Structure 1
Amino acid sequence: MIVYEFKVKGKERQYRAIDEAIRTSQFVQNKCLRYWMDNISIGRYDLNKYCAVLAEEFSFADELNSMARQSAAERAWSAIARFYNNCKKKVKGKKGFPKFKKHCRSVEYKTSGYKLSTNRKAIIFSDKKGIGTLKLKGTYDLNYYDIKQIKRVGLVRRADGYYAQFAIDVDVRVESKPTFEVVGIDLGLKYFIADSKGNVEPAPKFYRKSEKAFNRANRKKSKKFSTIKKKAKARQSHNYHKARNKYARKHLRVSRQRKEYCKRLAYSVIQSNDLVAYEDLNVKALVRNRHLAKSISDAGWYTFRLWLEYFGHKYGKVTIAVPPYNTSQNCFNCGEKVKKSLSTRTHVCPHCDYVADRDLNASINILRLGLSTVGHTGIYATGDLPSWAVGASLPSNGESVNVESP
């Protein structure tokens, strides 16, 4: 499964129609969630049937395509199923009870409600929302694929415009020549990665470099915010929304920089090695550290892991996530535990006098653990199976882990 993304061009009334479709999709999703809360014993197909009831009850819900309503119901069920799985697995802490969606940014169509033009440079939406014909701006060529291969189409709203995502059912596997190389990777903040061969990649720190510009744009936005209008529940001024959009665009740019960096680095690692071992980090728990949360979020470890697993699947390479416990503390040479704080960057073993960089020692330990688990079931960042192997459903926030650059 691959996802191609195009920027869509239309008139202002068409953009407002897309916004209305997104709001309706959010409404259906929240209604399905409430229906499940009131009737715990119901299943996935009961939520799909409930969509027809909502269409009869609410005229604006009937205007949305029936399969788009079902997609919204499936989003609600995916959150419910994730909660059930966490309860069965007895995950520590909160189990992720489904929450109502407040700021949805996308609507998803299945196999009806839209039609591509003859040259496939435009898409026509035929439901009653009035979206109409939208031009597709991008470098991909949809003529290469059969219409039946397009399983889903999503419309996404971002700070810099609207996008269309096409989930296409194709085999992404590519045959590649073996390199007969293996590597262990240690993720860090000083160096983004340090491998077992002694190579390091410095952390780009995209957010840190743009932080002054963020603060400046945020101050300008705050100056245009009116507390009087907020108390009166009135819409803020046009200048406030312009400043708000400018602030959002800056964040969007940094997120794209981080994603592209992780993508290129993961591709390079996979192309150079046949086996890659890396840490199975719980980033969600790590960001609770208030001293390092900003730096950890800026690093993008989880994004790098997703792309590493995707490219590993695509090119037939082995990717192994190993437990990070004591990989930095244990000595690679003798195996003894040598306690050290985060500020200690050099590993000095008092037992065997082995001296090495802390990250290099950790990466060799990670590689050793990875080689010892070869043949066992792999661990993926997105669960038992990676997101690209589960199905054609697009994420509700409009992001996709396998949108490849041309």
Structure 2
Amino acid sequence: MRAAYQYRLRLTKQQTIELERWLEMLRCQYNYLLADRFSWYEQNRCAINACPLVCHLPELRDNPDYYYQKRTLPQLKKNRPWYGEIHAHVLQDCVKRVDLVFKRYLKGDCNGKRSGRPRFKGKGRYRSLTFPSLGKNPVDGNSLKLPKFGWVKMVYHRPIPDGFKVKTAIITRKPDGFYVTLSIQDDTVPEVIPVDKVSNPIGIDMGLKSFLIKSDGTEVEIPKYYRKAQKRLKKIQKAVSRSQKGSNNRKKAVIKLGKAHKKVADTRKDFHFKTAKGLLDNHDLVAHEKLSIKGLAKTRMAKSVLDAGWGQFLLILSTKAEKAGLLTVAVNPRNTSQNCSNCGKKVPKKLKDRIHSCPYCGYVEDRDVNAAKNILNLAVGHPVSSKACRATKPLGGVGKKPALSR
């Protein structure tokens, strides 16, 4: 099992200057390797049968793939000795990043989805470097030993659990300073509880009126962190736009704007972690919709959808559940709001209709609670009996409707 712990670094002034220098050198090397890839691709992508009878093609050369560019690093250190100050594994990771973005541009990822054309990184745009391997016992109290860089101090706010080994370290520059993300590994694999042995499952329906509504009728209010911070962000953004490019005032305003955006992101992430913990502390199975967030982010509700951060929350929920040996099940959201959770019949309704009223069995419930129950039934494979799910059956058609449970 692998986990990632992030700590804030307390660097000296000299260490900060050195780290900034490393990032700038890696940025230049990244741009050079990417340009080499583009140069080869433009000269060699033409098919043989598409060439004219008389053409002036340059002399073809081997494809500068990952291993080819990796073999150029020793010569780089000879031609530019200052690159010898950077650890070899950090330089190799720079080559790996170029290879990854170029392959995704040409072939796509594991699902065949291609990304856009890779862009060259401007000054200050290369923000992280990776140490793929660390020495033995790299953490000593609140200090971390980085190969060829030395000991650095960090805010050791939570200890690494016993039995875990530190495998890699990623140094990231953020608006308020440098952070290190330690990837730790343990050979033990947690046992996941089978679906047929769950004792307290729950279904959740994500929304914009409430962040989520459980199948038992309880709900979690949506915080709207970005909406609340919009006025302040607009004021800082105006200061950035009005300042002259390249001036110190603009740099200060950009840093202030970055810190404001980071505060919104951090508070949202903290809310997601606490909400996920509250669900997993009380339930051993959490069923949710398999949402197409990229599609929803292209609609008129894009700002509210991205402010809610459903994708980040569901990722945190599944990761924490896996580590605890619990279950999260993603189900197809098709007709979960339309079908009746009591009898299974389809009851068409528009988005403005917030109450589910079944004309077949007389079951009345809040629309989102009904959807959450449908999600839970799909995840478990059978209707989950509870007092809230019982409804009075009509006599010869539509009968009396029970009172709302909320």
Structure-2-length-normalised TM-score = 0.76
Instruction: State the secondary structure of the residue aligned to 2:119.
Output: coil
The AA in structure 1 aligned to 2:7 is: F
Distance in 1 between the 2:133 and 2:145 partners? 13
The counterpart of 1:106, out of the listed 125, 128, 131, is 128
Instruction: State the secondary structure of the residue aligned to 2:211.
Output: strand
Tell me which residue corresponds to 1:3. 4
Q: Is the 8 A contact 1:114 1:124 kept in 2?
A: no
Higher CA-based Rg: 2
Tell me which residue corresponds to 1:184. 203
Give matches, 1:197-346, under 5 Å. Answer: 197-223=216-242, 225-226=243-244, 230=245, 235-237=246-248, 239-289=249-299, 291-346=300-355
| TM-aligned CA distance change 1:184 to 1:16, over 3 Å | same
Aligned residues: 354
Distance in 1 between the 2:331 and 2:108 partners? 21
| TM-aligned CA distance change 1:55 to 1:350, over 3 Å | farther
Structure 1 residue 267 displacement after superposition: 1.5
User: Percent of aligned positions with the same letter in both sequences?
Assistant: 29
* 1:121 to 2:146 alignment: no
* Structure 2, unaligned runs of 5 or more: 46-62, 383-406
Q: Is the 8 A contact 1:172 1:314 kept in 2?
A: no
| TM-aligned CA distance change 1:184 to 1:26, over 3 Å | farther
The counterpart of 2:183, out of the listed 167, 188, 192, is 167
Tell me which residue corresponds to 1:379. none
Tell me which residue corresponds to 2:52. none
RMSD in angstroms over aligned alpha carbons?
Answer: 3.1
Q: Is the 8 A contact 1:179 1:272 kept in 2?
A: no
The AA in structure 1 aligned to 2:183 is: A
The AA in structure 1 aligned to 2:328 is: T
Structure 1 residue 256 displacement after superposition: 0.6
The counterpart of 1:140, out of the listed 158, 161, 171, is 158
Q: Is the 8 A contact 2:105 2:118 kept in 1?
A: no
| Deviates further, 174-183 or 155-164 | 174-183
The AA in structure 2 aligned to 1:21 is: W
The AA in structure 2 aligned to 1:20 is: R
Structure 1 residue 249 displacement after superposition: 1.0
| TM-aligned CA distance change 1:126 to 1:355, over 3 Å | closer
CA deviations over 1:193-230 (Å, ceiling 9, x no partner): 1111111111111111111111122223333x11xxx4
Structure 1 residue 308 displacement after superposition: 0.8
Structure 1 residue 160 displacement after superposition: 1.0
* Structure 1, unaligned runs of 5 or more: 374-406
Distance in 1 between the 2:266 and 2:134 partners? 31
Instruction: State the secondary structure of the residue aligned to 2:199.
Output: coil
Structure-1-length-normalised TM-score = 0.76
Tell me which residue corresponds to 2:374. 365
| TM-aligned CA distance change 1:266 to 1:3, over 3 Å | same
Distance in 1 between the 2:75 and 2:332 partners? 48
| TM-aligned CA distance change 1:264 to 1:281, over 3 Å | same
Instruction: State the secondary structure of the residue aligned to 1:185.
Output: strand
Q: Is the 8 A contact 1:10 1:133 kept in 2?
A: no
